[in-house]
Structure 1
Amino acid sequence: MSDAIQPSKDKLVADLKVVVADAEDLLAATAHQTGERVAELRERMQDNLRNARHKLGSLEDDLRLKARDACRATDHYVHEHPWTSIGVAAGVGLLLGLLISRR
């Protein structure tokens, strides 16, 4: 998993948590409303929120596992090819230094 994708996925998870929390607040605020249509809508929203919460938990678990696998793969590669890793890190550092010094 690339470093650019991970923050966007983390933000997506955080945004979905906010949406779920807001929807739960909305359900709590409309608890005193009566009527068959309102009761049906509340029931449907509760089901959808339950499903969203379940999927969000699965997504978090998947992201955590993929990040752990990426860390292990990187660690394994660095131990297997230390000089290549040092060379790449030095090259990236040099490029970043040149880019920063241009500003």
Structure 2
Amino acid sequence: MLESNIRVMNKDVNTIIKDAQALFHDAATLTGEKATEARQHAMKLLDSAMVNANDARASAMVAGKEMAVSADHYVKENPWKTISAAASIGLLLGVILGRK
């Protein structure tokens, strides 16, 4: 679920940025009131992209903290399983790296 939300947010942010770039490009060729309107619209799009990016960052931070708490809880509940898993991984890596 989190990954799909991040993909959607990235797609939305990229679309907004492309639209803003096009508006800035058009604003460079326009003069007067139309140029001002185009720049203001582009700034609104960029502000929207920043809000979306901040929302995605906040969601990722919350999900990361939840996973860290879950892992911490598991390690505290199952210390010997965790130690044996870490030792097994270390042994496996030692064997693999020792062969080279």
TM-score (norm 1): 0.61
Q: Give the structure 2 partner of residue 82 of structure 1.
A: 79
Give the length in aligned residue pairs.
81
Q: For structure 2, which runs of at least 5 residues remain unmatched after alignment?
A: none
In 2: Cα distance, 1:98 partner to 1:37 partner: 69
Higher helix share: 2
Output one character per residue of 1:40-60: Cα deviation in whole Å (capped at 9) or x when no partner. Answer: 331221111111111111111
Equivalent position to 1:95, from 84, 92, 96: 92
Q: Which moved more, 1:34-43 or 1:77-86?
A: 34-43
Output one character per residue of 1:14-64: Cα deviation in whole Å (capped at 9) or x when no partner. Answer: xx8xxx7xx8xxx6xx89x73344333312211111111111111111111
- Cα root mean square deviation, aligned: 3.1
Output one character per residue of 1:67-101: Cα deviation in whole Å (capped at 9) or x when no partner. Answer: 11111000000011111011111111112222322
Query: Partner letter of residue 61 of structure 2?
Result: R
Equivalent position to 1:72, from 69, 72, 82: 69
Query: Partner letter of residue 79 of structure 1?
Result: K
In 2 relative to 1, CA 44–102 (structure 1 residues): closer, same or farther, beyond 3 Å? farther
Equivalent position to 2:55, from 55, 58, 73: 58
TM-score (norm 2): 0.63
Q: What's the % identity of the aligned pairs?
A: 31
In 2: Cα distance, 1:35 partner to 1:100 partner: 67
In 2 relative to 1, CA 37–99 (structure 1 residues): closer, same or farther, beyond 3 Å? farther
Higher-Rg member (1/2): 2
Q: For structure 1, which runs of at least 5 residues remain unmatched after alignment?
A: none
Larger RCO (alpha carbons 8 Å, 6+ apart): 1
